[in-house]
């Protein structure tokens, strides 16, 4: 019987989502944050960006979330990799996080990863 367990979204940056990344896997549960670049009401596809990196977000399952180009959003969902290797996040949760300092957020994410690498893989003493 297939498991329908929903896993937590791994914290990733848009720069982490490239074909050689360990996060770039079909169905990977991810949490991404970026500035809304564009949004199509007809297709429910949003594009978020940070720096030169972009990611398409399928928002068809989100309700009561209004989109404003230029605002910062965070999405949790599953990564769908298209045949042309383009990634689209199928969002199950989305929220506006205007006011977040993206540079500080990315610095804290790096510190979390360093901590996890140093403490979570060592055997208990």
Query: How many separate domains does the chain show?
Result: 1
63-99 pLDDT, tens digit per residue, is 889 999 999 999 999 999 999 999 999 999 999 999 9
Question: Is residue 109 in a domain?
Answer: yes
- Total number of residues shown for the chain: 125
Q: What share of the chain is helix, strand, coil (3-state, %, to 5)?
A: 15, 35, 45
19 assigned to some structural domain? yes
Q: What is the DSSP letter of 83?
A: T
Residue 73 inside a domain? The answer is yes
Tell me what pLDDT residue 1 has.
45
Residue 97 within any structural domain of the chain = yes
Residue 74 sits in a domain of what CATH number?
2.40.50.140
Residue 78 placed within a domain: yes
pLDDT digits (tens, 9 = 90+) for 45-57: 999 999 899 999 9
Q: Answer whether residue 40 is part of any domain.
A: yes
Structural domain for 19, as ranges: 10-121
Say what the pLDDT of residue 101 is. Answer: 93
Asked, for residue 56, whether it belongs to a domain, the answer is: yes
Domain assignment present for residue 5? The answer is no
3-class secondary structure per residue, 22-57? CCCCCCCEEEEEEEEEEEECCCCEEEEEECCEEEEE
Q: Is the pLDDT of residue 122 over 70?
A: no
């Amino acid at each position: 019987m297939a498991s329908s367990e929903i896993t937590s979204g791994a914290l990733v940056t848009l720069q982490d989502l490239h074909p050689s990344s360990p996060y770039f896997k079909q169905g990977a549960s991810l949490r991404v944050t970026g500035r809304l670049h564009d949004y199509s009401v007809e297709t429910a596809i949003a594009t978020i960006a940070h720096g030169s990196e972009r990611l398409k977000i399928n928002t068809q399952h989100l309700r009561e979330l209004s989109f404003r180009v230029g605002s910062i959003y965070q999405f949790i969902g599953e990564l769908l990799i298209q045949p042309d290797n383009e990634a689209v996040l199928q969002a199950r949760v989305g929220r506006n996080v205007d006011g977040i300092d993206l540079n500080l957020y990315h610095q804290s994410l790096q510190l979390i990863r360093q901590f996890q690498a140093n403490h979570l893989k060592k055997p208990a003493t």
